[in-house]
Amino acid sequence: MPQDKTGETRGFSTSKLSVLRKHPYFVDLEPEAFEQLCRYAKHTTLKRGAAIFSKGDPGTSLFAVISGTVKISISSPDGRNAILNLIEAGEIFGEIAVLDAGSRTADATANSNCELFIIDRREFIPFVRSQPALAMKFIELLCGRLRWTSDQVEQVILQDLPGRLASALLRLTEKHKPEPQSRVIAITQQEISEMVGMTRESINKQLRVWATRGWVRLEHGAIVVLKPEELQTLVDSGSENGSE
């Protein structure tokens, strides 16, 4: 786990604290309760590639991303990797092991330079118990994580490459729903290949087909979804018309 570098959140800018205040699971907290939550939050900065926790570690903390992106992944003994999720600024992670006191179910790695808030389980669990509405929202969060994982399993088992890739891009753009004009996905082709379980070469070939059709635009370290409706039609009707 990263070490706290700056101590309590007292004195932090309003913009950083707003990551917690604007989060849908904390937005309805009374001012006194929110101030209490902020007193628990510690701040840390991480360089790209830094390990935050590993699968099997004890779940001692909840994390909120202030800036940057965190990769949630698993790996096999032979070195293969699978990305389960990319956690962006404004999102929280690490809640499963914190809530059930079990071990971490995956690895968490700084996918870019990151700023995080860290809340210790010993303080967070009593806080949740004192806020029944917050407990219900965390149940909703866990259900959302389960649906995300179920979608990924369904794609790997039932869909071919175009369908898997289209579904993954659409799920990633779901995070930008409040800003429909912002469909830039900060992800490399290697990372999305690890997310959908195909080779980078296959991903690149398919993306270039869609770029030629004007469905996506390829940028350095990012994919811009230009026509999500075409990708959705592909997912709904099958993949035959989405490949070469």
Token pair listed for 119: 């809340």
216-231 pLDDT tens trace: 999 988 999 999 999 9
Q: Name the residue among 171, 239, 157 with its Cα closest to residue 206.
A: 239
Chain-wide mean pLDDT for the chain? 85
Residue range(s) of every CATH 2.60.120.10 domain in the chain: 14-145
58-115 pLDDT tens trace: 999 999 999 999 999 999 888 888 898 899 988 999 988 888 889 999 999 999 999 9
Give the homologous superfamily in CATH for domain 14-145: Jelly Rolls (2.60.120.10)
The dihedral of CA 23, 26, 31, 36: what is its sign? negative
Contact 240, 166 (CB under 8 A): no
36 Cα distance to chain centroid: 26
> What secondary structure, in 3-state letters, does 27-83 show?
CCCCHHHHHHHHHHCEEEEECCCCEEECCCCECCEEEEEEECEEEEEEECCCCCEEE
Q: Which positions ≥6 away from 49 have C-beta within 8 Å?
A: 109, 110
Is CATH 1.10.3720.10 correct for 159-237? no
Residue range(s) of every CATH 1.10.10.10 domain in the chain: 159-237
